[in-house]
A and B are shown apart, each in its own frame.
Chain A
Amino acid sequence: MSVETVMNDQHNEDEGVVLTEAQKRARRSRSIAIALALAVLVILFYVMTLVKGPGVLVRPV
């Protein structure tokens, strides 16, 4: 058995759960949704900070 074969076997053993194509597509869809949500949140906080100006630090409760 060559060194390369042993390394490939080791690599296959480390793969863990192998996703089907449908699961990969679903994961991609979820990842895009999460990325978009985070982007919206970042933009929202950025724009709101500009809108409020120094008032953003005033937090009367």
Chain B
Amino acid sequence: MSFVSEGAKLTGPLAGAPDFAPAEPSLATGSDYFALLKPRVMSLVVFTALVGLAVAPGSLHPVTAFTALLCIAVGAGAAGALNMWYDADIDAVMTRTSRRPIPAGRVKPGEALAFGLTLAGFSVMTLGVLVNVYAAALLAFTIFFYVVIYTIGLKRTTPQNIVIGGAAGAFPPMIGWLAVTGSLSVEPALLFLIIFFWTPPHFWALALYRQQDFARAGIPMMPNVAGEVSTRWQIMLYTLTLVPLGIAPWLLGFAGPIYAAVSIVTGAIMLLLAWQVLRERAPAERASRNLFAFSILYLFLLFAVLLVERGWGGLLA
């Protein structure tokens, strides 16, 4: 076994000791650690949390709001790092994830674990001390849910992995709401449900055209387990549930006419794309790709309109 990596030389009294294996010097840079945070996922988490903050009744000092968002972002990043630590073996065999810092060999698993745990601890503690303990408690639960329940418990064992695990991605608006109010109500629950029911059509559309990748990694995604036809039907059923939920904030009086128009039009497009996915058969994958891409825009538009329409009342003191 080699002592050192990447050309570093061990000199001195330890040089001739073959059984001694000190820590190998790391080649990880700051940007590798940043990549461990899954910045793209983090940006969606920050955005939905921001909407939760903004639509919540009450006011929050802008610096406190920024602190809350920073803690939520870092907490989400910590969960991402811990996910990459646990999933390094399957990331290595999937095209989409093989260039991540751990499978690429730039960051060691132990380093990612320590990094993730440290950030998780700091983000929860800081949110609790500087904002409020309820938001901190839900952030801690979200990290636990994503890492332990989804990544370790569900991802490799059941095709319902992303259905149940989707809750982790749906909590951030509730955390944002809690940061302002310290309590929960129907409105944040609705935001939770929108993201929760958005997750299956979004990820299964991806899973349909990445089946081989997931099969190679041994991940039991719905198309690999239940088959394509069943998955396409389930995408349609979840979309049928999602679209009314998307319109519900307007129906329940939480949102105005612009939201109504956007949620109805984009909801109709979601249904149309889900219908096209239902009718499509492999090897064709265009409809699945279209649904995957549009679903991101759909969620973004719903939350962006809520943010604009409901103003920044939760953010500005």
Q: How far is the CA of A61 from the CA of B25 in the complex (A)?
A: 44
Q: How far is the CA of A45 from the CA of B126 in the complex (A)?
A: 9
Is A15 interfacial (CB 8 A cutoff)? yes
Instruction: Give the most central of B30, B63, B67: most A CB within 10 Å.
Output: B30
When A26-B26, A29-B31, A30-B28 are in contact, do A12 and B12 touch as well, CB less than 8 Å? yes
State whether B27 touches A16 (Cβ < 8 A). no
Kindly list chain B residues whose C-beta atoms are within 8 Å of the C-beta of A19: 8, 25
B residues 113-134 in Cβ contact with A at 8 Å = 122, 126, 130, 133
Q: How far is the CA of A45 from the CA of B25 in the complex (A)?
A: 33
Interface flags for A17-39 (1: CB within 8 Å of B; 0: not) read 11110110111011011000000
State whether A20 touches B67 (Cβ < 8 A). no
Q: How far is the CA of A26 from the CA of B64 in the complex (A)?
A: 34
Candidates A14, A17, A45, A52; contact of B8 at CB < 8 Å:
A17
Interface size grouping (class) on chain B = 20 to 34
When A44-B70, A44-B130, A48-B67 are in contact, do A30 and B29 touch as well, CB less than 8 Å? yes
Kindly list chain B residues whose C-beta atoms are within 8 Å of the C-beta of A33: 30, 33-34
Interface flags for B39-51 (1: CB within 8 Å of A; 0: not) read 0000000000000
Kindly list chain B residues whose C-beta atoms are within 8 Å of the C-beta of A4: none
Kindly list chain B residues whose C-beta atoms are within 8 Å of the C-beta of A23: 6, 8, 25-27
When A13-B12, A26-B28, A30-B30 are in contact, do A20 and B64 touch as well, CB less than 8 Å? no
State whether A44 touches B30 (Cβ < 8 A). no
Instruction: Give the most central of A15, A26, A32, A47: most B CB within 10 Å.
Output: A26
Q: How far is the CA of A26 from the CA of B31 in the complex (A)?
A: 10
State whether B12 touches A51 (Cβ < 8 A). no
B81 shortest CB reach to chain A, Å? 14
Kindly list chain A residues whose C-beta atoms are within 8 Å of the C-beta of B31: 29
When A30-B33, A48-B64, A51-B63 are in contact, do A61 and B11 touch as well, CB less than 8 Å? no
Chain A interface residues (CB < 8 Å from chain B): 12-20, 22-23, 25-27, 29-30, 32-33, 41, 44-45, 47-48, 51-52, 61
A-B contact pairs, 28 of them (CB 8 A): A12-B12, A13-B13, A15-B11, A16-B10, A17-B4, A17-B8, A17-B9, A17-B25, A19-B25, A20-B7, A20-B25, A22-B27, A25-B29, A26-B27, A27-B25, A27-B26, A29-B29, A29-B31, A30-B28, A30-B29, A33-B30, A41-B122, A44-B70, A45-B130, A47-B63, A48-B130, A51-B64, A61-B133
Chain B interface residues (CB < 8 Å from chain A): 4, 6-14, 22, 25-31, 33-34, 61, 63-64, 67, 70, 122, 126, 130, 133
Closest 4 CB pairs of A and B: A33-B30, A29-B29, A13-B12, A23-B25
Give me 13 other A-B pairs in contact (C-beta within 8 A), A13-B12, A61-B133 excluded.
A15-B12, A18-B11, A22-B6, A22-B7, A23-B8, A26-B27, A26-B28, A30-B28, A33-B33, A41-B122, A48-B67, A51-B64, A52-B130
